[in-house]
Amino acid sequence: MTSYVRPAVSLILLMTLITGAVYPLVVTGVAQVAFPEQANGSLLHDEQGQVHGSLLIAQDFKGDAWFHSRPSAADYATVASGASNLAPSNPALAQRINDSAAQQYIEAQGAVPLDLLTTSGSGLDPHLSPAAVAYQLARVAAVRHVSTEALQALVEQSTLQPLIGPPVVNVLTLNAALERLAPVSK
């Protein structure tokens, strides 16, 4: 019996050491050397070194002085991230989108862009389409007392072109640049 138990226990301990300690330490070490910013959460720091958020996670910006992110089914909580799981045929989803569209609608600008009305798959997508950001330009410009042309230039500087897919704007970096350009009067 011990001829079976001893090798089995030894193998369990060896595999636990390899997969539970050695492998995670090697992967962490490689990530820290090759991709230090991403391995540490892609954090956005201000001039004083304070963290304002992660470039990978959407945040809720309240008030007319800010560009707003996509809606979040989990109220921007990372623990409960995920889609709402409401089917397209669900009346509650249609009502939520209609209410949000009515709240954000600006007659002179036409229909509200879809990514300002719908959540992403994770509920935490930090990016918007340039069209969704442009829809908010007039509101932010009026509150910040900045020309829409200056804000448009800021949006163009903040627009990213991924290797695959359409251009996107990270709302956190855009709002950080906006605060540097025209701070909110307190």
113 with 138, same domain: the answer is: yes
Which helix H or strand E contains 72, and what residues bound it? none
Residues 115 and 97 in one domain: yes
Residue 143 is classified by DSSP as H
CA distance 4 to 144: 74
Range of the domain at 24: 2-36
**pLDDT exceeds 60 at position 6:** yes
Domain contains 174: yes
Q: What are phi and psi of 132, to 5 degrees?
A: -70, -35
Structure token pair of residue 176:
């950080």
118 and 175 assigned to the same domain:
yes
Tokens 């991709």 label which residue? 35
Q: Look at residue 186 and tell me whether its pLDDT is greater than 60.
A: no
Query: Tell me: the pLDDT tens digits for 77-134?
Result: 777 676 677 888 889 888 988 998 998 888 888 899 989 988 887 778 899 999 999 9
Task: Give domain status of residue 144, yes or no.
Answer: yes
Tell me the β-bridge partners of 185: none
In the prediction, which pLDDT does 144 show? 93
Amino acid at 154: L
